[in-house]
Amino acid sequence: KPFAFSCLWNALRMKAGPSRTNRPDNTAFTQQRLPAWQPILSAGIVIPGFTLIGLAFIGVGVALFVTSQKITDLEIDYTGVAATSPCFKCTSFAAENCMCQMEFTLTTLFEGPVFFYYGLTSYYQNFRTYGVSKDGYQLSGDTYYFNNPQDSCAPYQYDSNNNPIVPCGSIANSMFSDTFQLYQVVNGMKKQIPLDGKGIAWWTDYNIKYSNPALVNGSFADAFSGTVKPVNWSKPVYELDPTDQANNGFLNQNFLVWMRQAALPKFQKLYGRIAEGDYAQGLPAGNYTLLINYSYPVISFGGTKKVVLSNVSWMGGKNQFLGIAYLVIGSLCIVMAMVMLIIYAKYKFTDDDEDM
Amino acid sequence: MAREIGEPGVAKSSTTKKHKRRKSKKEIKTRTVHANILYDQAKGGDNPNRHYANNKIKTTKYTLLSFIPKNLFEQFHRFANVYFVFIALLNFVPVVNAFQPELALAPVVFILSVTAIKDLWEDYRRHRSDKEINHMDCLVYSRSERQYLECYWKEVCVGDFIRLRCNEILPADVLLLSSSDPDRLCHIETATLDGETNLKQRQVVRSFIDLDTEFDPLKYNSVIECEKPNNDLNRFRGYITHRNGRRDGLYKENLLLRGCTIRNTEEAVGIVIYAGHETKAMLNNSGPRYKRSKLERQMNVDVFWCVVILLVMCLFSAIGHGLWMFQYGDKRPVFDVLSPEGTDLSPVVSAIYLFLTMIIVFQVLIPISLFVSIEIVKICQVYFIHQDADLYDEETDSHLQCRALNITEDLGQMQYIFSDKTGTLTENKMVFRRCIVAGVEYSHDANARRLAMYQEVDSEEDEGLSRGGTLPRKESLTSQHSGGKAVLRSQSTKSHRRTGSRAEAKRASILSKHTAFSSPMEKDITPDPQLRDKVNDCGSQMEFMRFHNQLLSQISPDLQDVFDFFIALTICNTVVVSSPNQPRQKVRRFELKSPVKTIEDFIKRFTPSRLTSASSSSSSTSLATNRSSSHRACSSLLSSPSAESTLARLEEERGATPGIRGALGTTPACPHAGGSVAGGSDEGELRYEAESPDEAALVYAARAYKCSLVGRLADQVTIELPHVGRLSFELLHTLAFDSTRKRMSVVVRNPLTEQITVYTKGADSVIMDLVRPPAADDSKGKRQRKILFKTQNYLNLYGMDGLRTLCIAKRVLSKEQYASWLRRHLEAETAIQGREELLFESALRLETDLHLLGATGIEDRLQDGVPETIAALRRAGLQIWVLTGDKQETAINIAYACKLLDPEEEIITLNADSQEACAVLLDESLHYIQAKFLCSSSADPCAAGVFQPDYATLQFHAPPTSSGTAGPVVVHRLGLVIDGRTLAYALDKSLEDKFLAVARSCRSVLCCRSTPLQKSMVVKLVRDKLKVMTLAIGDGANDVSMIQVADVGVGISGQEGMQAVMASDFALPRFQYLQKLLLVHGHWCYSRLANMILYFFYKNAMFVALIFWYQFYCGFSGSAMIDQWYLIFFNLMFSAFPQLITGTLDKDLSADTLQELPQLYMNGQNSEAYADSDVDLFTWGTPITTLALLTILLHLGIETKTWTWMNWASIAFSIVLFFMVAMCYNASCPTCYSPSNPYWTMQRLLGDPLFYLMCVITPIAALLPRYFYRACQGSLFPSPVQVGRQLDKVPLGLRRHLVNQSRIKAGPLRRGTAHRTPLYPLGPPFLKGCSSKITDPYSSNPKQKAQAASPICLKSMEMKDTPGSSKNPVNHLEYVQKAGGWAGEKISGSPSSEALETRDQLISHVGLPENSTMPYSREPSQHDEVSLPVGLETSLSPGQSSEIIWLTSTPLMPQMECVQLISPPSGDSPGVTYQKNQESLDCPQQNILKQTCGERLSDSPDSVQECSKTPSRANVRKEWLEPWDAFADAAVAGTSPSSAVSVVLTAAAALYKCILHLDVGIMISLS
């Protein structure tokens, strides 16, 4: 309100009512006298504080570290860069449906439940345009988007014949295609270990986010009629898992896992769990064979492929770092407290000396 | 006739009114107004007034329709908004888009809408007040009804007749045509326009004066031609042309201005001349001012650097991306995405696309919400400042006003204060103290005692109140039987007390609505017995002579002078008299004490001058507008072009009308005596309303001698004299006061002597020059010379004493002289062109050859708390300059009184008569200062030897103790006094650098006799050349230009109207509030805002750093692991509230501590995040966001100094808000929100124990180093602010004590610092005190100890004493020793009495030779000098050391010592002190820097500034950029461990480092 106006205004008010003072309200808020806590970082508070935090952290750190130590994991690199590797033969372009076999030995029981991961390195699933390249509506089973995939899928939207691709987009197109079978070698005989591929995807992904189209004429395949499979795929989406009809379409567990982009270029994704039958308690000591259907090319961009076996605890997979971090930070706190104590004592006393 | 001159076309074309009107304004210079009733309202086609603005006002900026486009347009003036719109639009480009385009619009829309809502609200408020004003009622004459009808203001048009009743507010600018007042006057109160509370008289237009019947609008048929609307309140010119062709001039006396209130006049009628927005009030109303604060300017620079960094980061990413693409060559990896067309993108093209994408992704770096947050915080700050009860003045019922809303934080950065003296440092309540009549001084001791008693009572009262209000204002009931002394005292003095106590103040304020400038203190003056006797003598003699028919000239010249002196005091003014019974009711007629007949007889018998008196009276009355038929002709003649003929007519009339005028010498008896009986019997009841407080003081003073002004009309003044009774002086002319002439005069016809007499009152310098030089040798001449000499002597003493002096003189004109003067004067008055100049010259002609009657000394009392405020501000490192128009002696003495100058200081006085002399003076002073510095730094007592003040006008008022060759004077104790003339030379281009060099070496600068223009030039010079923040404070119109020039202008809403307030950014009721405004609010505003801005930059930089770091892991593809929603709303929502609360409420120090320890500022921040491996992108990104948020909040927690419930609430709210939003967002839609599609992520995370563990460790790990740093610093090497915070914890009493103690110790240290930095001695005592060790120089340094014998060293000790002295036993001791005779008072001394005493002391120190001639009773100053060293020695050594021991045994004090002992790393805190570069002595490096720079001081004063500023700037730049490399290394190195957490922590470490640098950088650059 312009000033002359407020003057006029006041004059009016004065005229209207009894004289009204401009006295400000005397409240704690307007006078900025709200009760307040004013922490001060003085040595007296900080040193005990640091010590306490340090101790607590060391405690948590120890617990985490011990837990993490109990977790075992085993990594098997099967990229086949080295000529000695059994999978070397599959790295050439000519190899089709190449199978290779990695062998490993467990000396002790690998406690269960054992999680079976595949891992990739130098693989940029977090590439921006890659991550965008999918059609959520299509994947939720909306058939409209079967014929009209969103532009975000480009250039994996339509194939060269202008047929819509389902599932469209780069992520789906580049789906990891290696398959694994794990055998225990018992008395020279290979005994297949069941890899439970169910429930490896997020529950919400499986039940809410993704869903298959309704059957057309009772046929699942017909629901996808008029669409073509992604360029890199060998089988259409409704035939992903020939063994389990329910594990097909968008609700294929491995597909779901793949569709969750990894955060870093070096990542591992769950392939299955070993939790059944003889192996419910874990993998007993002995020799094992990993049979790999090698089809996914990584050498061209300098990546590696591996298989990781790991068991988990309440805090998830093996994660020594967190425990160590807690320990380190905790110790740092203690050290800082000590340092401060020393410096403080020293300065304090010299001050006092001088003053005396 | 019926149209504007020179614009005939307008009347016809009624469609394009507005356009045409604007055009016509340029073409013609006048406006013609006709009466509307001549034209039919219904078909207003030919009404010539219709083109003028109507009275409807509209101050709103927008209409409903125009709001959106107009507001948007205004908002896009802000660069940041345009930038964000650009970014949002960029999102719509398919190849670039990083976010959902719609979402990307959200921030911009949000910001724009918040601002728009704010604007809308403001506009709505304006609209409402407009509406209210537009719908007020007034009476407008209606043509159809033939009477006045109630109308809304907005319906009033130019040309309408308006009837105004008493106490109504004027709806428009109205030309007064009729008034119910018999004198055809109308009184208005212009308080709403200029704040002046006195009544102003307005006169009916001359041609309508003689209307005896009521004004009839229907008979009006004249045309008014006047100026175009303009904003000059004091100017209105035009003429009115009647049907018969007669023309009359119109002056500002005829115009009633919109917004004024009609008083004292039952009814008035006028015609509207200007309406609505064309009224002078509205044209003057420029609305609030917008200034850009320094912080904002710096912030803009920082935002610019953010943009640069952003671009660098984008470029870096783009290159990285190009390389990344390039490494794959032709082999496209399986995860590569081709262009939408399915073709390969070349690395270069994709890099370019990426560059644009990155701009979007990194947009968070530019803090979009920063601007809006700052605005919100500033509004809150303004609110709090407004609401501060400490800044509320009950006496005037006014509180601080922030008129500029956006420069609050500038208050915390001030370096120079320029203050006016009168009304700013002083109360501008004039109290009559002494006078000189005919060379005899009347000291009015009784009066002085009375004044002293007020103060005593005042202070007692205050104490009583502070003890818990144990002194209630008991009514007579209690006092009767209690009989206690205190009660009686309070009773008896209740009515006299100064307006210090609250209840009284309130009463006074109610009264003051009716009477300006008349507190009891000014009203009641105890007369000096001697002078009273003389006056009585004089009166009785005169009475005697009158009865015995003797010539009055036979009275002895002494008595004659006394008589004239009092007449002059009484009538030479523009005071309006009113009676209290009917407030504002003018006393019109009075009964004469002595019968008319007597006087008439007396006059008749007084034949010799009979004829001339008659003739002169007739000619004069023709000027003074009288209602007599013979004069109507005259007045009509006045406007006729020929002045010659006027005079001719006058000559004719002279003979013709002597008889009629005979009775005019005295006023006729009052026909209705009712109202005036009281006035007659008790003149004490009369109220005087004066335009200036001096006038009121003089009139009251005269009244004390029974010479009272009882009535004033336009043409006569009636006074009452002892024994003589009432006399009416015919008032022939009043030559109003103006600042160039510095005097005013009245021309009256003395009824006793029938002489035409000019009484002049003005500044002594002017009057003394105009006094007729005494005739050569005769006794009369001798006597005259003696009187002149004595008067001049006394005047000097008055000046010394800080009194305002006014000289009173008279001149008797012979009728010939008068006639010839009148001829020229009439010409001047009737001149249309250059009237002002001609009138000025005419006045000069009249005011010569004066006969000096006497002089008065009026005290302009210091405002409460001024010395304390100045001391506190000075301790805060502010340089205070006083720029005043007063004479040098007065100014110096006021400066002493308010402790601006210390008696210990040497004063360099520069008075030069020419440019060359001024140059020489400046050179000499500069050399002198340098010589002093050299001497003292080498501890060589040769200062006075090196430089002898051989230049005549360069005087060194060295204090007695350091006079002669006494030894080195502590160098920085220098005061510079410069007068207006010298200042004019010094401000010349060639000398200004030298002047500045001298001025800045001095602790205080006093510019006397400076014109308003010079004031502003000085401010401008300092502001521009020294690149410092300046504050100007003043209360009068003469300060306006200075207020406008300064960075922050403060107006005192005091006695002199509102011009200063109108021009100011802040309006204060009192000077002492400046202390809290600057030290508390300024500090808070600045530290809050600076902190908030830093925090914003930090927050955004941290967030962006996370994303940037991530680019190394995603092939620089511009993907962000943080969901776009979080990314965009992080700033706007999740992290916004706590910092707003902190930015508004945080107090790093309590108000008390800030006031007691004037010193300041604070520091910065850091951050981090985390990661995992088998999680997907956004499951990983969400916790990062969470952690970032937690980290940021925790960080804010570290930075927050004061935790109120609002802080807690806001932080809790932020966290809850984040989780709520995240949960809702993550649960809302399984398929939307491409590409992140974060369905159920948060929920899942919340089920993961690891998440919580992360939440705990990450912020702590991230902030640990900072916390450690803080803790170490806080407990080991606390900054002054931290010390202050610790002091906050101490109970109030003890705290005060500690603060005082610290000052004791600060004293000796000053020497040390002065040695180190000889050229910058002006640092704040406290800071410097902190900057060196406690070791007492007297004991630790033998060399200095040897010097301790020299009194000056001791002086320096004693000088650090400040207002707190009375609480400090040690200092007290010194005072007792020193003050000698005043010791007793000293102990109980209230601040003001202390100030007075000190001033007295100072005066005695200055010790002029005339001392002995003074009738003032004073202790001989020699006594002080002798006792001083001894007293100090004894009192200091043991007392001081014991204090120190006591002090250091408390835990706090050692910390205070070491504040600046160890300089903080790499210029961290220098930027943080209140001082800024210029005076902060806390960083040795800077000192060295300054020293080196200082060598060049004489060449260019501002090189120092440059020197000390640039390095820190350069560092900032480097630090801003360098961490990124370290950060990249860390990120790359972190790829190997299996868990990504390590990477993040490494990155966080790097980030931390970077942020640390960043914020330190920003910090430095901010300060």
pLDDT tier at B1505 (50, 70, 90 boundaries)? very low
pLDDT tier at B1423 (50, 70, 90 boundaries)? very low
Distance of alpha carbon B803 from alpha carbon B797, whole angstroms = 9
Residue A152 forms contact with B (CB below 8 Å): yes
pLDDT tier at B1274 (50, 70, 90 boundaries)? low
Contacts of A11 in chain B (CB under 8 A): 169, 191-192, 259, 261
Contact between A264 and B1113 using a beta-carbon 8 Å cutoff: yes
- The alpha carbon of residue B233 is apart from the nearest alpha carbon of chain A, in Å, by 13
CA distances from B1179 to A201, B1239, B1547 (A): 13, 10, 19
Please give the average per-residue pLDDT across B1518-1540, as a whole number. 31
Contact between A1 and B129 using a beta-carbon 8 Å cutoff: yes
Distance of alpha carbon B170 from alpha carbon B976, whole angstroms = 50
Residue from the list A3, A124, A348 with its beta carbon closest to the beta carbon of B335: A124
Active site residue B420: yes
Contact between A128 and B98 using a beta-carbon 8 Å cutoff: yes
**Residue B1017 near residue B978 (C-beta atoms within 8 A):** no
- The alpha carbon of residue B1221 is apart from the nearest alpha carbon of chain A, in Å, by 19
Among B1470, B1561, B413, CA closest to B1098: B1561
**Residue B1331 near residue B1313 (C-beta atoms within 8 A):** yes
Q: Which residue has the higher pLDDT, B967 or A71?
A: A71
Give the DSSP H or E segment for B12.
Answer: helix B8-12
Q: Has residue B1381 got a pLDDT over 60?
A: no
Distance of alpha carbon A176 from alpha carbon B527, whole angstroms = 110
**Residue B787 near residue B852 (C-beta atoms within 8 A):** yes
Return the minimum-mean-pLDDT range out of B84-93, B115-124, B1114-1123.
B1114-1123
Residue in A with minimal Cα distance to B167: A15
Q: Which amino acid is at B390?
A: D
- The alpha carbon of residue A221 is apart from the nearest alpha carbon of chain B, in Å, by 23
Residue in A with minimal Cα distance to B1542: A321
Extract the tokens encoding B559: 């008595």
**pTM greater than 0.90:** no
Q: Given the DSSP bridges, would you call strands B906-910 and B974-979 parallel, antiparallel or unpaired?
A: parallel
Q: Say what the pLDDT of residue B1347 is.
A: 38
Among B1196, B1220, B1221, CA closest to B1210: B1196
Distance of alpha carbon B603 from alpha carbon B751, whole angstroms = 8
Residue A162 forms contact with B (CB below 8 Å): no
Long-range pairs for B1106-1109: beta carbons < 8 A, 24 or more residues apart: B1106/B1169, B1106/B1184, B1106/B1188, B1106/B1551, B1107/B361, B1107/B362, B1107/B364, B1108/B313, B1108/B317, B1108/B362, B1109/B1527, B1109/B1531, B1109/B1547, B1109/B1551
Which distant-in-sequence residues (6+ apart) come within 8 Å of B1248 by Cβ?
A316
Contact between B169 and A8 using a beta-carbon 8 Å cutoff: yes
Sign of the torsion angle spanned by Cα atoms B473, B478, B480, B485: negative
Please give the average per-residue pLDDT across B258-271, as a whole number. 81
Among A72, A105, A9, CA closest to A310: A72
**Residue A110 near residue A72 (C-beta atoms within 8 A):** yes
Among B1302, B1324, B1420, B1318, CA closest to B1371: B1302
Residue A267 forms contact with B (CB below 8 Å): yes
Residue A71 forms contact with B (CB below 8 Å): no
Q: Say what the pLDDT of residue B1298 is.
A: 59
pLDDT tier at B1382 (50, 70, 90 boundaries)? very low
**SS in 3 state form for B1373-1388?**
HHHHHHHHHHHHHHHH
Distance of alpha carbon B422 from alpha carbon B420, whole angstroms = 6
Burial of B135 (0-12, 13-18, 19+ CB in 10 A): exposed
Contacts of B1163 in chain A (CB under 8 A): none
Chain segment A315-326, per-residue pLDDT in tens: 666 777 778 888
Residue in A with minimal Cα distance to B280: A4
Residue A153 forms contact with B (CB below 8 Å): no
Please give the average per-residue pLDDT across A13-31, as a whole number. 60
Residue A208 forms contact with B (CB below 8 Å): yes
Residue from the list B1174, B1204, B1205 with its beta carbon closest to the beta carbon of A268: B1174
Please give the average per-residue pLDDT across B989-998, as a whole number. 85
Chain segment B370-421, per-residue pLDDT in tens: 777 888 888 888 888 888 888 887 777 777 877 777 777 777 777 888 988 8
**Residue B768 near residue B792 (C-beta atoms within 8 A):** yes
Contact between B1257 and A140 using a beta-carbon 8 Å cutoff: no
- The alpha carbon of residue B1236 is apart from the nearest alpha carbon of chain A, in Å, by 8
CB burial readout B639-651, b (16+ within 10 A) else e: beeebeebbebbe
Q: Has residue A104 got a pLDDT over 50?
A: yes
Contact between A205 and B1239 using a beta-carbon 8 Å cutoff: yes
Please give the average per-residue pLDDT across A232-260, as a whole number. 85
Q: Say what the pLDDT of residue B739 is.
A: 64
B contact test, residue of A30, A51, A128 with most B CBs within 10 A: A128
Chain segment A153-166, per-residue pLDDT in tens: 878 888 888 888 88
Contact between B1270 and A60 using a beta-carbon 8 Å cutoff: no
B870 CA to centre of own chain:
15
**Residue B427 near residue B396 (C-beta atoms within 8 A):** no
Chain segment A105-138, per-residue pLDDT in tens: 988 888 878 888 899 888 888 787 887 888 888 8
Sign of the torsion angle spanned by Cα atoms B1507, B1512, B1515, B1520: negative
Q: Which residue has the higher pLDDT, A195 or B1240?
A: A195
Residue from the list B336, B383, B1539 with its beta carbon closest to the beta carbon of A321: B1539
Chain segment B1063-1101, per-residue pLDDT in tens: 778 888 888 888 888 888 887 887 778 777 777 777 777
Sign of the torsion angle spanned by Cα atoms A243, A244, A245, A249: negative
Q: Say what the pLDDT of residue B1409 is.
A: 37
Residue from the list A10, A53, A351 with its beta carbon closest to the beta carbon of B1260: A53
* DSSP annotation string for A145-188: HHHS--GGGTTSSB-TT-PBBSS-SHHHHT----EEEEEEEETT
pLDDT tier at B112 (50, 70, 90 boundaries)? confident
SS3 B404: strand
Please give the average per-residue pLDDT across B1043-1048, as a whole number. 84
Contact between A4 and B192 using a beta-carbon 8 Å cutoff: yes
Chain segment B767-786, per-residue pLDDT in tens: 888 887 776 667 777 888 88
Q: Say what the pLDDT of residue B1288 is.
A: 62
Q: Say what the pLDDT of residue B1384 is.
A: 37
Distance of alpha carbon B279 from alpha carbon A109, whole angstroms = 99
- The alpha carbon of residue A203 is apart from the nearest alpha carbon of chain B, in Å, by 10
Chain segment B1326-1341, per-residue pLDDT in tens: 333 333 333 333 333 3
Contact between A4 and B389 using a beta-carbon 8 Å cutoff: no
Please give the average per-residue pLDDT across A261-286, as a whole number. 83
Extract the tokens encoding B324: 């990344």
Q: What is the mean pLDDT of chain A?
A: 80
Please give the average per-residue pLDDT across B538-553, as a whole number. 70
Phi and psi based region of residue A92 (left: phi greater than 0; alpha: psi -120 to 50; beta: remaining): beta
Distance of alpha carbon B907 from alpha carbon B930, whole angstroms = 15
Which distant-in-sequence residues (6+ apart) come within 8 Å of B1487 by Cβ?
B1316, B1317, B1320, B1481
- List the 17-36 stretch of A: residues with Cβ below 8 A of B: 19, 21-26, 30-32, 34-36
Q: Of the spans B30-39, B290-299, B850-859, which averages the highest pLDDT? A: B850-859
pLDDT tier at B31 (50, 70, 90 boundaries)? confident
Please give the average per-residue pLDDT across B1200-1208, as a whole number. 71
Residue from the list A4, A347, A351 with its beta carbon closest to the beta carbon of B284: A4
Contact between A43 and B1275 using a beta-carbon 8 Å cutoff: yes
Among B495, B517, B509, B534, CA closest to B573: B517
**Residue A184 near residue A193 (C-beta atoms within 8 A):** yes
Residue in A with minimal Cα distance to B1456: A351
* DSSP annotation string for B1175-1194: SBHHHHHHHHHHHHHHHHHH
- The alpha carbon of residue B1239 is apart from the nearest alpha carbon of chain A, in Å, by 8
Contacts of B394 in chain A (CB under 8 A): 23
Catalytic residue, from B194, B248, B302, B420: name it. B420
Please give the average per-residue pLDDT across B788-805, as a whole number. 80
Helix residue spans in B501-548 (DSSP H): 502-512, 520-523, 529-547
Please give the average per-residue pLDDT across B1013-1042, as a whole number. 83
Contacts of A142 in chain B (CB under 8 A): 1231
Q: Which amino acid is at B1532?
A: V
Please give the average per-residue pLDDT across B1158-1172, as a whole number. 30
Please give the average per-residue pLDDT across A172-193, as a whole number. 88
Q: Kindly report whether the peptide bond that precedes residue A113 is cis, defined as omega within 30 degrees of 0.
A: yes
Residue in B with minimal Cα distance to A346: B1276
Distance of alpha carbon B767 from alpha carbon B759, whole angstroms = 11
Helix residue spans in B899-1011 (DSSP H): 915-937, 943-946, 980-986, 992-1001
Distance of alpha carbon B696 from alpha carbon B201, whole angstroms = 17
Q: Which residue has the higher pLDDT, B93 or B650?
A: B93
Residue A318 forms contact with B (CB below 8 Å): yes
Contact between A34 and B333 using a beta-carbon 8 Å cutoff: no
- The alpha carbon of residue B1527 is apart from the nearest alpha carbon of chain A, in Å, by 18
Residue A306 forms contact with B (CB below 8 Å): no
Return the minimum-mean-pLDDT range out of A246-260, B530-544, B863-877.
B530-544
Residue A92 forms contact with B (CB below 8 Å): no
The proportion of chain A whose per-residue pLDDT surpasses 70, expressed as a percent, equals 87
Q: Which amino acid is at B627?
A: R
SS3 B635: helix
Return the minimum-mean-pLDDT range out of A288-297, B317-326, B948-957, B979-988.
B948-957
Q: Of the spans A286-295, A322-331, B488-497, B896-905, which averages the highest pLDDT? A: A286-295
Please give the average per-residue pLDDT across B191-198, as a whole number. 60
Q: Has residue B664 got a pLDDT over 50?
A: no
Q: Has residue B557 got a pLDDT over 50?
A: yes
Q: What is the mean pLDDT of chain B?
A: 64
Q: Which amino acid is at B905?
A: E
Contact between A347 and B1458 using a beta-carbon 8 Å cutoff: yes
Contacts of B94 in chain A (CB under 8 A): 151
Among B822, B624, B619, CA closest to B714: B624
CA dihedral B1189, B1195, B1200, B1206 (to 10 degrees): 20
Q: Has residue B620 got a pLDDT over 70?
A: no
Residue position matching structure tokens 């009030």: B281
Q: Say what the pLDDT of residue A55 is.
A: 92
Please give the average per-residue pLDDT across B301-323, as a whole number. 85
Chain segment B1459-1481, per-residue pLDDT in tens: 222 233 333 333 332 333 333 33
Q: Say what the pLDDT of residue B974 is.
A: 79
CB contacts < 8 A, A to B, total 336
Q: Given the DSSP bridges, would you call strands B756-763 and B392-393 parallel, antiparallel or unpaired?
A: unpaired
Q: Say what the pLDDT of residue A206 is.
A: 84
A contact test, residue of B1231, B1254, B1441 with most A CBs within 10 A: B1231
Q: At what angle do helices B347-361 and B294-328 cross, to 10 degrees?
A: 150
Residue A234 forms contact with B (CB below 8 Å): no
Residue from the list A7, A36, A155 with its beta carbon closest to the beta carbon of B342: A155
